[in-house]
Amino acid sequence: MVFITSNTYSQCAMCKAVVENGDSGLAKGLNDGIVTLMIIPYILVAIVAFIIWRYYKKNK
């Protein structure tokens, strides 16, 4: 199932129309919201990596 691709349209018609019309403030807000939601997992992974690194450095 991983290698099977198909054209899917997961966003609603309103979201698609807002993104296609990139001049509006709504498109900028939508893009900013997506970036904000993407930042949180990266911060959590960085914190866990730092804790693991510090743990291994301390035990050397």
The confidence score (pLDDT) of residue 57 equals: 92
Report the largest interatomic distance among the alpha carbons of the chain, rounded to a whole angstrom: 56
The confidence score (pLDDT) of residue 55 equals: 95
Note the pTM of the prediction, 2 decimals.
0.52
DSSP assignment of 4-49: -------S-HHHHHHHHSTTSHHHHHHHHHHHHHHHHHHHHHHHHH
pLDDT, one tens digit per residue, over 9-58 is 555 666 666 666 666 677 777 778 888 989 999 999 999 999 999 999 99
The confidence score (pLDDT) of residue 59 equals: 86
Vertex 8 angle, CA 4 and 10, to 5°: 130
The confidence score (pLDDT) of residue 32 equals: 83
Which token pair is 24?
């509006």
**Whole-number Å distance between alpha carbons of 24 and 30:** 10
